[in-house]
Structure 1
Amino acid sequence: MKFSVSLMLMLPLLALGRVPLSKPEEDGEIWAVLVAGTEEWDEYRHQADICHAYQILSANGVPDDHIVVMMFDNIADNIVNPFPGQIFNHPTGDDVYPGVPKDYNGHDVTKENLFKVLRGDAKGLEGIGSGKVINSGPNDRIFISMEGFGDNGIFFFPYEIMMANEFADVVLEMKENNRFKEMMVYMDSSCSATMFQDLYPDDIGFYALSAANADEVTYAAYCVDGPFFNCYGEQFAVSWMEDVDSKDPSTELLKENFEITKELTYLSEVTQWGQISVENENVAAFMGSKRSYVSPARNYSTEEHKASARPSQDVPLINLQNRLRAARTPEEKTHLSSEIRTLKNKRSMIKNVMERIVLKVSGDERLAHDLMTKKQEKITAWNCYGEAANAFHKNCYALGKNTAGTTIVSALLNMCEAGYKADDIVGATKNVCVFPTLQ
């Protein structure tokens, strides 16, 4: 009653424009961070997904100063793009590139810059990109979407790696500093379940979806032949976004979005993490209320996704093979055949190098074979694993630029979990990888 009376007394002043009508404190604001962790043309889909996510948030009324976009931004104007200046997330969809903020592009797409954005460290980002950060408070909600490659407990940036425990430390620090009421993360990378497993309390308002379980790769979607010869999206990403596109976010629950995403992402296991009760909130709580549609609603189906899906790490090879089949001149066929051989040789080399590293550390061929193939259910040796993975990335192969490497990094984890010392593993990478780091 007191509130009603107070409001009635304020109405004349409001009519004169003297007293602003503010939102209730508990409503808070929405902030978003959208990250594409790859830069190659063959990974077109990751930047396309991020652009689509931006269009959803923008159409739902989330202002640009509350959305931070991190992507290399070399796809729309790429010399091989058959649609210059445009990016698409579906073969018959709309251009999702218009208006996308150029916050952090090129070599500014880094783990450290992401952490500064999340911490609100504007001083640390002076002179870098747009300098935009998340200025969130205790009543705000933060939505994060990350697209790219990964392996057990790792998300790959173009030139560095981010360990799951590093990301968790930043999130927990943010919670301790009252920088969010709730946070939701959609992580689209291989083995992404290990980015959350056993790392977050279930009572801090943190909620996440992972695109794949601990030993699964993700799948690209809408992979087509010429003139594109590429994939428009990732199966997990296009599944959750196409559902949001076709629904009213003010009435759809996050639980419903999860269930539909899980059904459409049938080639990998989508899983929830953190405070599961957050699923009972509306999508609008993290993505805004629908004000305009990004594109006409479509009836998407598992069959449509299945027909065009490809294992994410195999997309570069599949694209080359498709281009070879469509080649018309002997010169073009010879060139593409050479590229295919080079890619296959690189993949064999990466595996061979890891086998040599494991053998050097273990000193036993049978044991080395087990360490190369064992599947870990959980990660506990974070410090050792982080040192080993960074050493392999620095001394041997830039993991964010070599998709085949994302399927063998688990051998480093196996050695750490088996009790081998990080110093020995790091030393083995330096001893075996005497060649320049393969980019």
Structure 2
Amino acid sequence: MVFYIEACESGSMMIDLPEDINVFSTTAANEQESSYACYYDQERDTYLGDVYSVVWMEDSDQEDLKKESLHKQFKIVKRKTNTSHVQEYGNLTLSHMKLNAFQGSKKAPLNTRQPLPDIVDAVPSPDVALSILKRKYMTTNSIEKAQKYLLEINALLQNKHLIQETMQKIVSIVTESEEQAAQILNSRNRIRDHACYQAANYHFKTRCFNWHAPLYEYALRQLYALVNLCEEGFSLNSILQAMDKVCLLRS
């Protein structure tokens, strides 16, 4: 089995993949970084792809899948994806298998093959909503629409700052130390205490910011701090109480 995973911090999903089972995986990014959107479509006002997935699919479209191996494609994709660090996990011996074992045997006509194009409009996934609004603002000829877009841009930026500030206050209350708070906010621990993190995650979503609302989607980028608090041994009760205190005051 082979996985191609396109997501921010996608390496975190496969970092513990065993090497002694018949599963190979590549990911768009390592466990700590964003993936990148690309190919903005002005007619649809959205990005149509992501750099990693665009590169591997375009490569598959052009290659003879009976001849190209997973390993060769991985090297091509890693070289062309210059926005994030493409990773490979699992049973790496499988990467010597040919692509046709997993993607079919269709062969691209020789006269259609060409070098993969450079991607010039890549945007970090957390900044996609803001980037789309900025593009709309820059291209509209309507004063009313321009004012509307400007208000939406300011709202996104203000909420991003609010979310960052809220998490900083929560961490400061829990740690009761500027030095420890800085460490929590500037490091990335691997999650092991899933019960603590799941409970803290749910509380943050329901009491502070529901990231299913577009204005609060940036809250997803702050959840690493909750992982760090749990992994550094701070009690779940202290984390939940800090959230209640900060978010009730905010509301």
TM-score by length of 2: 0.88
- CA 1:216 to 1:243, structure 2 compared with 1: closer, same or farther past 3 Å? same
Percent identity, please.
28
User: Secondary structure of 1:201's match?
Assistant: coil
Of 397, 404, 407, which residue of structure 1 is paired with 2:209? 397
SS of the residue corresponding to residue 234 of structure 2 reads coil
The counterpart of 1:413, out of the listed 227, 242, 247, is 227
How big is the shift at 1:358? 1.2
Q: 2:29 aligns with which of 195, 209, 212?
A: 212
In 1, Cα distance between equivalents of 2:250 and 2:55: 40
Q: 2:101 maps to which residue?
A: 285
**Count of matched residue pairs:** 247
Decide which of 11, 14, 27 is 1:196's aligned counterpart.
14
Partner residue in 1 for 2:248: 434
Partner of 1:250: 66
**Quick one: which of 94, 102, 127 aligns to 1:314?**
127
Q: Answer yes or no: is 1:262 the counterpart of 2:78.
A: yes
Aligned partner of 1:260: which letter?
I
Q: How does 1:80-119 map to 2 (within 5 A)?
A: none
1:292 Cα shift? 7.8
How big is each residue's C-alpha offset from its partner over 1:240-262, in whole Å with a ceiling of 9 and x where there is no partner?
11111111222211111111111
C-alpha displacement of 1:216 = 1.4
CA distance in 1, matches of 2:101, 2:209: 41
Q: 1:236 to 1:318 in 2, by over 3 A?
A: same
Please state how far the C-alpha of 1:380 moved relative to its aligned partner.
Answer: 3.0
**Is there any run of 5+ residues in structure 2 with no aligned partner, and where?**
none
Match in the other structure for 1:423 = 237
Residue ranges of structure 1 left out of the alignment (5+ in a row): 1-182
CA distance in 2, matches of 1:274, 1:409: 26
8 Å CA contact 1:188–1:210 kept in 2: the answer is yes
Helix, strand or coil at the partner of 1:434: helix
What amino acid sits opposite 1:206 in the alignment?
A: V
Whole-Å separation in 1 of the counterparts to 2:124 and 2:245: 32
Give the residue type in structure 2 aligned to 1:262. Answer: K
Mapped contact 1:384–1:416 kept (Cα < 8 A): yes
Amino acid aligned to 2:193: A
Name the CA distance, whole Å, in 1 between partners of 2:99 and 2:249.
Answer: 49
Deviates most, 420-429 or 322-331: 420-429
Return the alpha-carbon distance in structure 2 between the equivalents of residues 248 and 280 of structure 1: 15
Pairing partner for 1:387 from 171, 174, 199: 199
> Matched residues in 1 for 2:74 and 2:45: separation?
30
The alignment's C-alpha RMSD in Å is 2.4
Q: Which structure's CA Rg is the greater one?
A: 1
Q: Structure 1 or 2: larger helix share?
A: 2
